[in-house]
Amino acid sequence: MSAPPIGMKDHNFNGIAAMNPKLGNKVINRMGYGTMRLPGLKGTPEDAALAHDLLRESVSLGANVIDTADIYGAGLANRLIAEALYPYPENLIIATKVGVKTGQDGRPVPAATPDEIKATVERDLVNLGVPALDLVFLRLPGGPLPDSGVPMHRSLTCLAGLQAEGLVRHIGLSSASTTQIEAAKSAVAVDAVQNAHFVGNRDSVTVVQLCHDEGIPFFAYFPLGMGMLIEKKTDLGPMAASYRASKSQIALAWLLALSPMIVPIPGTSNLDHLRENFAALNLTLSPADVNALSNVAGPCELASDGEQEASIAHSSQTQLPGVVG
């Protein structure tokens, strides 16, 4: 049996949910949009006009981070972004990825050599119609992506060179551990991290803590557990009913409550679902409910009130809900 949450009483998340991370001089809004579902890993969208509408509506709803990758439809996602949003809003951040490509069998395979990274960046620049990429994540091995055999430092050194040339503005890591983040700092400034994070998945809790402590934006992909909403571990239905919200909104509101550095990037090909996701920004869960969701896969701790106030003001070394010290 897991230990009860610590410091749950009288805890207030309102300040944390209202904070915003920054990338350079751009303030990041707390909900982004992921484009993987527009073309998928291969093929073309069934409805290009709908894809354009989804992108425009996401920006209209407040998204200023659009997550994409050359691997999404062999560059098609990037071309759809350009068709829908160019000329781009001044505050828009388009986040792309290198280090991965689609193999002959349709599965992701590594593409982390300097030549492969340069080629991916060049394609992104052309397909997006920009002189420089706002944010480029190096996708590290893990999950379905096997190890490339290319040292991370070598790939990052290549990105640093592209940054020095003015082709890349910011560099981040995708699917990274805390050890990899710390090691990467010898080659680049880690400006952002992008990992899977959702209710019931505790794989990235220490990474979330590090990003919170150091003020690094954390982009949560698969924030709805790839649409499964961790039904096998917990039923979000009763909690959703108590808030008059959807299960998806509960899952997103939980992420927003964990740290001001977290920016969920849900993807959808349905306009109603898109609007539903963004409405989660107006939902504040109680501390008890945040802890209940954090405890789905294990115990958690909460910061004391004093520590929490310090984190809001200075992003200090506080313990986050759902992160075990």
Catalytic residues: 72
Is the omega angle on the peptide bond into residue 217 within 30 degrees of 0, that is, cis? no
Assign residue 304 a region: left if phi > 0, alpha if psi is -120 to 50, beta otherwise?
beta
The answer to whether 44 touches 76, Cβ cutoff 8 Å, is yes
Distance CA 44, CA 76 (A): 7
Q: Tell me the one-letter amino acid at 294.
A: S
Total number of residues shown for the chain: 325
φ/ψ of residue 228, rounded to 5: -80, -20
Residue 96: CA atoms inside 13 Å, Cβ hemisphere, count?
33
Q: Provide the token pair at 296.
A: 């789905």
The Cβ of residue 8 has, within 10 Å, a number of other Cβ atoms equal to 17
Indicate the DSSP class of residue 51. H
Contacts of 159 (CB under 8 A, 6+ apart): 98, 117, 136, 138, 168, 171, 188
The answer to whether 14 touches 253, Cβ cutoff 8 Å, is no
Distance CA 312, CA 305 (A): 11
